[in-house]
Structure 1
Amino acid sequence: MNKQLGKDDVEVGSQEVCYDGFFRISKLTLRHRKFDGETTPWFTRELFQRGHAVGVLLYDRRIQRVALVEQFRIGALAREGSPWLHEIVAGMIDTAEGPREVAARECFEEAGVVVTGDQLIPICDYLVSPGGVDERFYLYCALVDLENVGGVFGLESEHEDIRLATYSIEEAQQLMASGGVDNSATIICLQWLLLNFASLGEK
């Protein structure tokens, strides 16, 4: 069968909310068309409905430095190293704002950096873990002045304790190579920068 399979080839029989807290988990009963034209039996899958997110790599093209945040992450608690991770600025899209608006807000909340829409360069957007999570991550590079940034930021109401520091491109590359960067969004952004920093030029 050469037909491109799509949403019309999936039938959801039922959907039950199993947990509805900070995140939501639903149990779906479904079946779908197969590549040979037949249909699968009914089966169940749990879907982690996390919502969508935005990430921003802060980059100063004049001094060729990036800024990364460092904060505690519950998902890294069982990690062999520290559960404090080096990451790009990021946040959930949990309001009526679009990705660019969330990007600007999070840059100020987590890094104290004011970012406008024309400073944001789209990198990509992707499904984080489509085997069981619906989250889509929108990634940007923000061209900003990092000459005098740094410190601790975050919202106390969200229990955030976020340290911001800057790194040369070489230092960021070494941090990534040594395993100091241990999350996909930050790796994607840094790899993108390594491929594109020359074309970004100087301010």
Structure 2
Amino acid sequence: MALKEMLRGALRAGGLAPDRCEAALAYLCAVIGPDTRLELMRAAVPELMLCFDTLTVEQARAQLPKILLRAQCRLHAGQNRPSRWSQAQGRDTIDVAVARMPYNAFFAVREDDLTHPRFDGTRSALINRAAFMMGDAVSVMPYDPLRDRVLLVEQFRFAPYARGDAFPWVIEPVAGRIDLGETPEEAARRECVEEAGLALQELVACGQFYPSPGGVSEFMYSFVACVALPDDLAGFGGLESEDEDIRTLLLSFDALMEMVDTGAVQNGVLLASALWLARHRDRLRRAV
């Protein structure tokens, strides 16, 4: 009963026409089932309503785990605050005329016709924008302050291949999606075990950011982990259940900086993590 009343309230707050409200409510209840995570379900309503006219109950139910993962991202994003250097305005100043979701599978694509406030005080014309919707992610670069080296991974990446890259294998930090119900720190520790067989203790946050905000919703939580990295850690890893094929490699700090200086780093998250380490390396080494 609590779920149904919450959904009804969310539909009314969203301005859904009364003649569609009951049909939409029945659809949402059929897709969601008896789930009692009310806050998460409320955050999922906007995307589920984009599915209302395009996906059957069975199709939407099959996509529900991914929809809930993006709802978790929506909850986290709602806690964001602008920095003192920003002149950002709240999302409630954006007027959406039409919202669509033309693709909804492992990832999703959202397309809106909207207007937004301009910095000169006027409003924009009606514009069309699209975003590739992804779950939030973590990266972690293990660093051994005694041996002064890092652990990185190399693996095949489909996106560079799809772009036409002649060598679509990428050297990068350990990284992965944050699962439903996980904190970024929990995800970072899990990914290090899965990709590198490495159990972490201390995690040092080194950035939270959108890697490509022009068209991708992914938000990254990046960490450096101070941990012992003996020679025998170099090798191969990854989960067979996820068809991962990962090479782990150990690089000295100087070799990492050579990669940065020569343009050999082709992963933006690795570049950010390497530059953060260059700035804070002395402090981390003094602490051991």
Query: What TM-score, normalized by structure 2, do the two folds share?
Result: 0.66
The one-letter amino acid paired with 1:110 is E
Tell which deviates more after alignment, 119-128 or 32-41. 32-41
Larger helix fraction of residues: 2
Q: How far apart are 1:4 and its partner, in Å?
A: 5.2
Question: Which structure has greater strand proportion?
Answer: 1
Paired positions, count? 199
2:237 matches 1:153: yes
Cα shift at 1:36: 2.4
Tell me if the contact between 1:85 and 1:180 (Cα under 8 Å) persists in the aligned partners: no
Choose the corresponding residue for 1:110, options 195, 205, 225: 195
Which secondary structure does the structure 2 equivalent of 1:12 belong to?
Answer: strand
Per the alignment, residue 56 of structure 1 pairs with: 140
Measured in 2, the distance between the counterparts of 1:199 and 1:171 equals 20
One-letter amino acid matched to 1:161: D
**TM-score normalised by structure 1 residue count:** 0.92
Decide which structure has the larger Cα Rg and report it.
2
Rounded to whole Å, the distance in 1 between the matches of 2:114 and 2:195 is: 40
Task: Give the deviation of 1:80 after TM superposition.
Answer: 5.1
Q: 2:270 aligns with which of 186, 190, 196?
A: 186
| Distance change >3 Å, CA 69–CA 100, structure 1 → 2 | same
For 2:131 and 2:168, locate their aligned partners in 1 and report how far apart those are by CA, in whole Å: 25
Structure 1: unaligned runs, 5 residues or longer: none
**Residue 142 of structure 1 corresponds to which residue in structure 2?**
225
Distance 1:7 1:168, change over 3 A: same
In the TM superposition, what is the alpha-carbon distance from 1:140 to its structure 2 partner? 0.3
| Whole-angstrom distance in 2 between the partners of 1:165 and 1:15 | 45
Provide the C-alpha distance between the structure 1 equivalents of 2:164 and 2:280, rounded to a whole number of angstroms.
31
Percent identity of the aligned residues? 37
Which structure has more relative contact order (CA 8 Å, sep 6+)? It is: 1
Greater mean alpha carbon deviation, residues 74-83 or residues 88-97: 74-83
- Stretches of structure 2 lacking an aligned partner (at least 5 in a row): 1-86
Q: Tell me the residue number matched to 1:91.
A: 176
Residue 187 of structure 1 deviates from its aligned partner by 0.4
1:164 deviation in Å?
0.3
